[in-house]
Amino acid sequence: MTAPDPELGHERADAAAETATVAELGEDAVLARILPRLRPGDAAILGAGDDAALVHAADGRFVVTTDLMVHGPDFRLAWSTPFELGWKAAATNLTDVAAMGARPTALVVAIAAPPSTDVSVLEGIADGLREGLAALAPGAGVVGGDLSASPVLTLAVTAFGDLAGRSPVLRSGARAGDVVAHAGVRGDAARGLALLFAEATDATGEPDAALADDLRSRHPELVRAQLAPAPPVAAGVVAALAGATAMLDVSDGLARDARRIAEASGVGIDFDGGALGPDARIALAGAEDHGLLATFPPDTSVPEPFMTIGLVTAASGVLSVDGRPIDTLGWDPYSGWDGRTG
């Protein structure tokens, strides 16, 4: 997988050569600053500039997904640079497309920002979107979107993908005897988040930008895994071509998302404790890695970059590690991540 350049886009908004708020410039001028920083991608027949974009759908169908990032519950401006926000907004949507076995083709991005927001923040987000797409889904681009005002900075991204004539890989196709495999890191984003909460907050518990920058220098890979993940987007098509029977994006934790496959397919999943590594709990509970969890028929050679981590069982809805049932761990946006503190 491709990681973001730690130097690219790291400068914060106050270091921009020309600063102005979005209220001072107005929508048209803000768009004139943002759109040149983005690319429409190979699938665009007509990109941004009209009321809607026109995107090529090779076989007459397309995969579509959407995701929302809100300042506070989803990111903190004191921790994330604008570039990292744009990169993560791309990455989190691209993996949902990949989990269907599709190739990402285009994004539509809507941003709502407080009027006092410096336009360089939006430019940094655009740069992160562009570079995230170039690294994780070459050929895909931003074909349009919207700007609005809000008390809280919010990003809404809709992503499209091309199945190239194949059937989508669903959550409901796993069968007893299938091999369970995973591509990507496990638990690194959660470790990075735990570090940010432990070492990048001030005396009052508020996120601190200077402490976050210091943490980046000491633990770059873990902080980057949380703030600008580099998931194995291309592995989605690889899995589909190899005959994956079920697949999904691991955004809420390996255990929670594995249960979704188990319940949709009417099967159980038994993880190999040795394959999960020395800290199995954080591997199972840690959210936001955005790896891909897939099942493959037992006679299929599991393709790279997937690693076998368990088997599908006939015990409907039951998750276990080495045969011992486990609880569902992971992130729920309304109750929080129950594995965050350890």
Q: Which residues are annotated as a binding site for substrate?
A: 74, 288, 331
- DSSP for 240-290 reads HHTT-SEEEEE-S-HHHHHHHHHHHHT-EEEE-HHHH-S-HHHHHH-----
Give the C-alpha separation, 108 to 144, whole Å: 5
Q: Which residues pair with 304 in a beta bridge?
A: none
149: Cα within 13 Å, side-chain hemisphere:
9
Torsion of CA 37, 43, 47, 52, to 10 degrees: -130
Place of tokens 């908004």: 13
CB 224 within 8 A of CB 4: yes
Known binding positions for Mg(2+): 51, 65-67, 96, 146, 249, 252
Estimate the crossing angle of helix 209-218 against helix 188-199, to 10 degrees. Answer: 130
**Cα(118)–Cα(246) distance, integer angstroms:** 44
Alpha-helix runs per DSSP H in 102-206 = 119-136, 188-199
Closest by alpha carbon to 161, among 111, 125, 108, 110? 108
Q: Which residues contact 29 (CB under 8 A, 6 or more apart)?
A: none
CB 269 within 8 A of CB 182: no
Dihedral angle, C-alpha 102, 108, 114, 116, nearest 10 °: 110
Residues tagged in the binding site annotation: 51, 65-67, 74, 96, 145-146, 171, 249, 251-252, 288, 331
Binding residues for ATP: 145-146, 171, 251
CA distances from residue 47 to 39, 55, 172 in whole angstroms, order as listed? 9, 8, 35
Which two structure tokens, joined as six digits, stand for 126?
């655009």
Placement of tokens 């690219």 in the chain: 8
